[in-house]
Amino acid sequence: MKVTETMIKKRKVKDRVLQTVTLISSSISVLILIMLFFFIFQKGAGSLSFKLLTDDYWAKNYLLDIPAEQTGTYVKPANLPTDSFWSVKYGFAVTDALSHEKQKLILIEYIDPASPLAKMTDASSGPNFGKAQLISVGMQIQKIGYVDINGDTRSAGTIADQNAKTLVDTLDSSALTLNQAYIKTTGGGIRGSIVSTFYLILISLLLAVPIGIMTAIYLNEYAKYNRFTPWLRSSIEMLTGVPSIIYGLMGMVVLYPVTALFKASGTSILLGGLTLSVILLPTVIRSTEEALKVVPDNFRDASLSLGANQAQTIFRIVLPSAIPGILSAILLSLGRIIGESAALIYTMGTFVNDSPTVLTGGTSLAVHIWSLMSGEQPNFALASAISIIILIIVLVLNISVKLLSGRLRKTWQ
Amino acid sequence: MDKIVRNHISVKSMKRKHLQDVFVKNLFKLMALLSSSVIILIILFILMKGSAPFLPNYKYGTISLPNFLFGTVWRQDAGIYGVGFIVINTILSAFGALLLSFPISVLTALFIVKVAPRKVASVMRTIVELLASIPSVVYGVFAAGTIVAFVRIIGSALGIVTAGGNSMMAVIMLLAIMIFPTITSLSISAIEAVDPDLELASLALGATKTQTHFKVVLSSAKSGIFAGAILGLGRAFGEATAVSMVAGNKLFGPTFNLLDITRTLTSTMLAGLKETTGLDYDIRYSVGIVLMATILISNLLLNYIKNRIGNKV
């Protein structure tokens, strides 16, 4: 067959088309990544603040007594935001806000140090009764009770369907004295989940890393080429294919009795950590084994020929040479712990716990997102804010793994 | 004799050293046995727990196995547990995702390894790795915000009222995104492993570079690419949290309408977490068995196809 000019041209066009197709397909993934980051940052950046990291998730309620001496004229500070309202008589400023459930809130913007609201005491009976309770900027005013000219006790605040402006106007114009305040913290913080995540990391790494490393050493250094060893390998390999939700089921039946020994009842962080350590095992084993394989055999031969036994060779020669690989195994595991959700939903529960301990339930950051999203009113803002935190951590881990593995490769070449 | 041999190589110290060696070896062997027995424990306990509701003398009332396996209604409130339609829904959404993701992944892998200039390729590699490392809940939040809205728009354009956008289509698109990095990275390794001599031979015969990439490279990397597809499919089957955010909660089925809500095995297992004992708790293990069986069977099937295709080369 003769190759004509038109055939070559046709071929060229066809090639160009095919090349463009590959380009388009790969730009789809870029597009998705950009869209994901854009969406998460756009939704979550507003809620992201240092306060988010240190606040409790659940709102706290305070019923407070306001001290009797409260007359005065307070000077409005110059730097108050324009959308806040200043009470001249009682020395505080409030603003309007919306909760993520679209409820109207009145938030405290500023309190004068001499204001009666700055010297309130706890009014609810209990150990804290009568103690001074400081309220701070950002808390919600649910109700402020006051006595008007006729001597009647009335209420102002969100409970009386007021907003910041009407609250200040009412108090300034018709209140003779204030008697009681019902104040609420806004909540919505993730301190508890951060603490739980740390516990989880600690428990699961403490278990998975030593067991994983020992297994990898056995497989790479000790195991003989017999019929038994491939079985060991493939049964560990099979663990990677098990969906994480199945690990959750496993945790509930197999590992629950273990946690019951420590007197944990029901779901607990300990159970979550144990389950996670099983999930991490194949990752740790494989990545340690990769690192061990790279260590040249000469090292082992040299050590053995100097009279060291195998255990000494492993601990003094092989393991130190494999440390970058083991480190990258730990970093990979960290990423997995932070991202894991399905298995933990079963084993740690979905209730956000503000003061988690090892033996009680709690939520990791990922599970916190799930419990925010699975309600009737998905809280996109907070879920995205936590997602940003997770994304940043994962990004940093990824970069570190890349740098480490680059170093590992360089070491022996 | 004792006086000549130095202390640290005395018989006694040698014995201790030997004992230490044996101890370490056995400890490591024990740990290896422990690690590899986990899979057996998982299978054993889940089988035990999950088969209990079908055995006679089950304390919450025995369920008939055929009704469970082939049932088309799932209503925990009415005590009707039929997992048949859920299996079909799961298979449909997983294979739908594979169908959507597979060509894009393979072409992306080809672009990264063969077509793109080096710098672009390394950026693309990083992007694929990043996509792989994003946790599934984050994908879930993304899907619940964007994909669902997209489906809602499509629905309203077609004049169909969707359940707020939660639908089988949303599940398929979400899963396609989630399995993309898996298939791509395995395809990349498969394409990289193709013998360069094959390519050179093809070029020497007068084929253009692009022709070689599509006809020679892809077909020699076939079995590796297929392995990626199998792994991706496994991930699609097992994905739970993200899917449950967009699947909806269909009570009967199977769902064939892309815009209708659906229910997968994993979303069923995550629904109704309140129970800690009783039938609703145990039945989750039965669903877990069905999930594992579904994954296993589809893996075997695909492996069979892979071997058939592989043999033709």
Give B36-70 pLDDT, tens digit per residue: 899 999 999 999 988 888 888 777 778 888 888 88
From residue A375, how far is each of A102, A380, A381, A398, B187 by CA, in Å? 15, 11, 14, 32, 39
How far is the C-alpha of A134 from the C-alpha of A155, rounded, in Å?
Answer: 21
Distance (Å, whole) CA A55 – CA A101:
19
Name the A residues in 23-42 with CB < 8 Å from any B CB: 23, 25-26, 28-30, 32-33, 35-36, 39-40
Residue in B with minimal Cα distance to A217: B28
At residue B203, the pLDDT reads 92
Contact call for B40 and A235, based on CB within 8 A: yes
Distance of residue A250 Cα from the nearest chain B Cα, in angstroms: 6
* B237, B298 contact by CB (below 8 A): yes
Cβ of A409: how many Cβ atoms within 10 Å?
11
Contact A217, A291 (CB under 8 A): no
Distance, CA of A185 to CA of A107 (rounded, Å): 9
For A230, which residue in chain B has the nearest alpha carbon? Answer: B36
Residues listed for chain A:
413
User: B218 to chain A, minimum CA–CA distance in Å?
Assistant: 13
CA distance B190 to B310: 13
In this prediction, residue B313 has a pLDDT band, given cuts at 50, 70 and 90, of very low
Q: Residues of A31-56 as b/e, b for ≥16 C-beta within 10 angstroms?
A: ebbeebbebbbebbeebbeeebeebb
Q: From the DSSP assignment, how many helices (H) and strands (E) are in chain B? A: 14, 2
pLDDT confidence tier of residue B180, bands split at 50, 70 and 90: very high
B-chain residue closest to A211, CA distance: B31
Looking at the partner chain, which of A30, A335, A373 has a beta carbon nearest the beta carbon of B245? Answer: A373
Identify any residues that bridge with B287 across adjacent strands, giving them in sequence order: none
SS (H, E, C) B13-25: HHHHHHHHHHHHH
Which among B21, B42, B244 has the least Cβ separation from residue A309?
B21
Chain-chain contact of A245 with B35 (C-beta, under 8 angstroms) = no
Residue among B31, B136, B211 whose CB faces A15 most closely: B211
Domain positions in chain A are 59-184, 191-411
Q: Is B167 on the interface with A (CB under 8 A)?
A: no
Identify the weakest region by mean pLDDT among A174-188, B179-193, B291-305. Answer: A174-188
Q: Is B135 on the interface with A (CB under 8 A)?
A: yes
Minimum-distance CB partner of A15 among B137, B146, B208? B208
Give the separation between CA A190 and CA A175, rounded to whole angstroms: 38
Beta strand spans in A51-129 (E): 61-65, 85-87, 92-98, 104-111, 121-122
Q: What is the pLDDT of residues B144-169, one digit of tens each?
A: 989 988 988 888 888 877 777 788 89
Shortest distance, CA B79 to any CA of chain A (angstroms):
21
Residue with tokens 């815009």: B259
pLDDT at B204: 93
Phi and psi (nearest 5°) for B165?
100, -15
- Tell if the CB–CB gap between B141 and A369 is shorter than 8 Å: yes
* pLDDT value, residue A143: 84
Decide if A278 touches B, using CB distance below 8 A.
Answer: yes
pLDDT value at residue B182: 93
Say yes or no for a CB contact (<8 Å) between A32 and B177.
yes
For A328-373, what is each residue's pLDDT tens digit?
A: 889 989 999 999 998 998 888 888 888 888 888 888 999 999 988 8
Give the range among A364-373, B2-11, B85-94, B300-309 with minimum mean pLDDT.
Answer: B2-11
CB pairs under 8 A between A and B: 244
Rounded-to-integer distance, Cα A314 and Cα A301, Å: 11
Chain A residues touching B36 at Cβ < 8 A: 215, 231-233, 235-236
Tell me the CATH number of domain A191-411, given options 1.10.3720.10, 1.10.10.10, 3.40.50.150, 3.50.50.60.
1.10.3720.10
Q: How far is B24 from chain A (nearest CA, A)?
A: 6
Residue A132 gets which letter from DSSP?
A: B
Over 70: is that where the pLDDT of B272 sits?
no
A266 contacts in B (CB within 8 Å)?
A: 276
For the record, the structure tokens of A388 come out as 């940003």
CA dist B128 and B105 (Å) reads: 10
Q: Which amino acid is at A62?
A: Y
Contact between B108 and A26 using a beta-carbon 8 Å cutoff: yes
Note whether A274 contacts B: Cβ–Cβ < 8 A: no
Contact present, A177 and A68 (Cβ < 8 Å): yes
Among chain B residues, the shortest Cα distance to A241 is held by B234
Distance from CA of B292 to the nearest CA of A (A): 8
**Chain A stretch 337-396, residues whose beta carbon is closer than 8 A to a beta carbon of chain B:** 338-342, 345-346, 350, 366-367, 369-370, 373-374, 378, 380, 383-384, 387, 390-391, 394-395
Please report residues of B whose CB lies closer than 8 A to that of A390.
Answer: 135, 137-138
| List of chain A residues whose C-beta atoms are within 8 Å of the C-beta of residue B16 | none
B contacts of A249 (beta carbons < 8 Å): 46, 49, 269, 284-285, 288
Return the higher-pLDDT residue of B76 and A219: A219
Domain map of chain B by residue range?
A: 7-54, 68-312
Long-range contacts of B36-39 (CB under 8 A, 24+ apart): B36/A215, B36/A231, B36/A232, B36/A233, B36/A235, B36/A236, B37/A235, B38/A239, B38/A278, B38/A281, B39/A235, B39/A236, B39/A238, B39/A239, B39/A242
Residue A188: partners with Cβ closer than 8 Å, 6 or more residues away: A47, A52, A55, A57, A59, A100, A382
First to last CA, chain A: 51
pLDDT on residue B1: 46
**Which residues in chain B have their CB less than 8 angstroms from residue A43's CB?**
145
CB atoms within 10 A of CB B6: 8
A118 inside 8 A of chain B by CB = no
Q: Which two tokens stand for residue A40?
A: 């998460």
Q: Is the pLDDT of residue B71 over 70?
A: yes
List chain A residues with pLDDT less than 70.
Answer: 1, 69-71, 100-102, 408-413
CA distance A99 to chain B (A): 19
**CATH number 2.30.30.60 given to B68-312:** no
Q: How far apart are CA B105 and CA A87, in angstroms?
A: 63
